[in-house]
Structure 1
Amino acid sequence: MVALDTVFELLRDERRRYALYYLYDRDGPVSVRELVEAIEEWEDDPASRHDSLETFEEIMVELKHVHLPRSSEAEFIQYDPDQGLIQIQGSPQEFDALVTVARLIEKPDQ
């Protein structure tokens, strides 16, 4: 059983939630680049377009230095910074339930 505080901490940040939603739908490892592209697409607001490269790099840095290391503290999230791969594997039911509910509430576009 995973601590509820751990699950809520994982879901606390919007970008980390988007990353978890994306990873949750994938079987096997995902490249950090692919994950950044998905998050960038979900965050895309045509009314306030920034330089796409600048936004991509901002998300990449934030994921690599904050969200992915923090997420990998949970035993069911594996992050290999050397290979640039991350995956969710063997997630507990508590996590599955809360990610599903959070995603339904938030409904990020895919």
Structure 2
Amino acid sequence: MTSLNRIFDLLSKERRRYALYYLERQDGPVSIDELAERVIEWETDPAVVSIPEERFERVEIELLHNHLPKASEAEYVEYHPERREVEVTGTPPEFNAVISVAEVIERPPRDS
């Protein structure tokens, strides 16, 4: 059984939650670039037309050096920095239940 403390710790940061919401719905590895783009979309007001390159770089760096290494402490998050890919596989039922409820409550602005 997966500890609720571990799940809540994984979901404690908004940016990491957005990344996990997206990753949990994918069938296979996701590039860091794709993940950064999705997180930025969810964090940005839909009225914003253009995202500065510096913002993309900041989000990407934070994912690479903070959120993905932290998430990969969970055995069901596979982070491959050398390939710049990450995926979620074999999630335990406790994680699935909590992340589903969290996403419904939070409802990121865009759904994909």
Name the TM tier (shorter chain). Answer: over 0.9
1:57 aligns with 57
SS of 1:33 mapped into structure 2: helix
**AA at the equivalent of 2:100:** T
The alignment status of 1:8 with 2:8, answered yes or no, reads: yes
* Residue-by-residue CA offset, 1:49-73 (whole Å, 9 max, x unaligned): 8852111011001000000000000
> Hey, which of these two has a bigger chunk of helix by percent?
1
TM-score by length of 2: 0.92
Distance 1:90 1:52, change over 3 A: same
**Structure 1 residues 9-48: aligned runs within 5 Å:** 9-45=9-45
Flag structure 1 segments of 5+ consecutive residues without an equivalent: none
SS of 1:62 mapped into structure 2: helix
Extract structure 1 runs of 4+ deviating beyond 3 A: 46-51
Deviates more, 1:89-98 or 1:48-57: 48-57
* Residue-by-residue CA offset, 1:2-34 (whole Å, 9 max, x unaligned): 111110001000000000000011001000100
Distance 1:76 1:46, change over 3 A: closer
Counterpart CA distance in 2 for 1:26 and 1:46 is 23
Deviates more, 1:96-105 or 1:52-61: 52-61
TM-score by length of 1: 0.94
RMSD (CA atoms)? 1.6
Distance 1:96 1:59, change over 3 A: same
Identity of aligned residues (%): 49
Distance 1:28 1:51, change over 3 A: closer
State the 1:109 CA deviation: 2.1
Flag structure 2 segments of 5+ consecutive residues without an equivalent: none
